Structure 1
Amino acid sequence: MEAKMKYVTSKDGTKLAYDVTGSGPPLICITGASCFRNFPPILKVVKVLSKHFTVYNYDRRGRGDSSDTAPYSISKEVDDLEVLIDACGGKALLYGHSSGAVLALEAALRLDEKIDQVIVYDPPYVHTKSDRAKYQALAAEVMKQLSQKNNKRAMKTFLSGIGMPKFFVLFLPLFPGWREMHTLAPTLAYDIELTKDFPPLNRFKEIKIPTLVLVGSKSPESVRAVGEEIAKAIPAAAFEIIAGQDHLVNAKVLLPKFTRFFGTSKA
């Protein structure tokens, strides 16, 4: 059954487009950089998770069918999540992937009364001073290209810089969804803002919500190390490395982790 697009309006007037599929506890999926709700890889994840959850799949501000309101702030993206949670009844589960994982953790800090549990995969904060310097250089180059309205080059530069396989970046123009991907390149500035520094571990000590931090065994070593640090900082957190998975994790591998942690297994 095809999902019907709906809208909610955030506190600053930004309209957020979302779809609802499946049945079960409400689960909001928060996507990472270069993604939007109708991107084929995202739809695959939603299809799998919808077998056990009522999945709320939304376009983050500035993407897809959502609008945007300047200036950007991380707090505004948390406001977006709050109105989505209210739309699904006032309580929800969260799943954040990549920069979406950062948003999920920020929401866990601020919206703890509205969130039951959180799963994050590969939160991509920088890990060392060397990592931060390299990321700052990458960010400067991406922002330069965006200022020149060279969205395609900016997107390719960003994805190459964060370690996406060369063949993946090379053949991006042939992928379904490439047109939408490069048109939302300006939102890379938002993802950079979310991930440009070390994880705020002292703040994460205040998270009271049960949290599962997942990383892929084939994800960058820095991402795995950061994930473990975050899990140690959050009092009610568990940590797991998923064998054989990289940053583009297979949803079918994720599903049993979700049903076990969220307590929705039908077995």
Structure 2
Amino acid sequence: MKTARSKDGTMLAYDVHGSGPALIYITGASCFRSFKPIRQDAREFAKEFTVYSYDRRGRGDSGDTPPYSVEREVDDIEAMIDAAGGRANLYGHSSGAVLALEAALRLGDKVNRVVMYDPAYVHDEAEKLTYGQLGQKVQKLLDGGKNKEAMISFLKGIGMPGIFVWLLPLFPGWKTMVALAPTLAYDIALTRDLPPVDRAAQVAVPTQVIVGEKSPAGMRDVAGQLTKAIPGARFELLAGQDHMVSAKALLPVLSRFLKQ
């Protein structure tokens, strides 16, 4: 484990895998760097890149400094880029893709290229309403110290299959997931609004938007909106993949775009 410090003093834990161009891996909700699927992703990406896999603030071995803001999470990404030598590519998944977009807007020349997979904004006003209700339910549970219930409610609310949610407590990382449940409020804050197409039009970093062929229709809609808004953005529909994308299927796409 290595550590870096963000601008507000928050300690960030990260691992480095592989060799090649630097790639900062920005995970989505309920993920942390030692979670088995994330470790597997990082090792697969390490076949082509030097992968910086870090615990977002409030997760795993990283610290946290209230109050939360998107700007502070972007500062965390900047700290990881600095740890990687001052410039890096970004790969963000789900709410991590939202952060990758924000970093592209705010960090300028420090970002070489950006790949977003299934950026998890709400896609229309109806979803914004129902997601807002889910956010209120999750926050009430968190305020009551009911982390387990909050995590389960969130995962069910975003459409994770019931059988998978039922099996999660059997996974080795479940206790850590429950411990990081308060960060669900961070992910909800990132994804509760419609895609910021006006701001996305200001992105000057080469960008690729990828969505799974089997991902929810709303995510495919969001991916289309962002691709149209971001100047010169590339789009790819990844055949056979859903929101839990296979790193083996994704790696050739990352390599083609990021190694140009």
Give the shorter-chain TM-score range: over 0.9
Name the residue aligned to 1:202. 198
Q: Distance in 2 between matches of 1:14 and 1:108?
A: 21
> Identity rate of aligned residues, in percent?
60
Name the residue aligned to 1:236. 232
Name the residue aligned to 1:23. 19
Q: Distance in 2 between matches of 1:145 and 1:83?
A: 32
Instruction: Render the CA deviation track for 1:11-51: whole Å, top value 9, x for unaligned.
Output: 11100000111000000000000000000000110010000
Name the residue aligned to 2:105. 109
1:180 counterpart letter in structure 2 = T
Q: Distance in 1 between matches of 2:122 and 2:176?
A: 27
Q: Distance in 2 between matches of 1:48 and 1:11?
A: 30
1:145-224 to structure 2, matched below 5 A, reads: 145-224=141-220
Secondary structure of 1:130 counterpart: helix
2:125 counterpart letter in structure 1 = K
Structure 1 position 166, deviation (Å):
1.0
1:42-121 to structure 2, matched below 5 A, reads: 42-121=38-117
Secondary structure of 2:41 counterpart: helix
Q: Distance in 2 between matches of 1:236 and 1:59?
A: 31
Is the 8 Å Cα contact of residues 36 and 60 (structure 1) preserved in structure 2?
Answer: yes
Structure 1 position 175, deviation (Å):
1.4
Secondary structure of 1:96 counterpart: strand
TM-score normalised by structure 2 residue count: 0.99
RMSD of aligned Cα (Å): 0.7
Structure 1 position 136, deviation (Å):
0.5
Structure 1 position 243, deviation (Å):
1.2
Is the 8 Å Cα contact of residues 16 and 65 (structure 1) preserved in structure 2?
Answer: yes
Structure 1 position 236, deviation (Å):
2.3
Secondary structure of 1:11 counterpart: coil
* Correspondent of 2:258 among 255, 262, 266: 262
Point out 4+ residue stretches in structure 1 off by more than 6 angstroms: none
* Correspondent of 1:32 among 9, 28, 34: 28
| Paired positions, count | 260
5+ residue gaps, structure 1: none
Structure 1 position 176, deviation (Å):
2.1
Q: Distance in 1 between matches of 2:180 and 2:203?
A: 31
Is the 8 Å Cα contact of residues 208 and 236 (structure 1) preserved in structure 2?
Answer: no
Secondary structure of 2:113 counterpart: strand
Q: Distance in 1 between matches of 2:206 and 2:224?
A: 15
5+ residue gaps, structure 2: none
Structure 1 position 170, deviation (Å):
1.0
* Correspondent of 1:9 among 2, 5, 15: 5
Is the 8 Å Cα contact of residues 209 and 236 (structure 1) preserved in structure 2?
Answer: no
1:14 counterpart letter in structure 2 = T
Is the 8 Å Cα contact of residues 78 and 107 (structure 1) preserved in structure 2?
Answer: yes
Structure 1 position 128, deviation (Å):
1.0
Q: Distance in 2 between matches of 1:84 and 1:168?
A: 32
Q: Distance in 2 between matches of 1:87 and 1:128?
A: 38
Q: Distance in 1 between matches of 2:116 and 2:87?
A: 18
1:241 counterpart letter in structure 2 = L
TM-score normalised by structure 1 residue count: 0.96
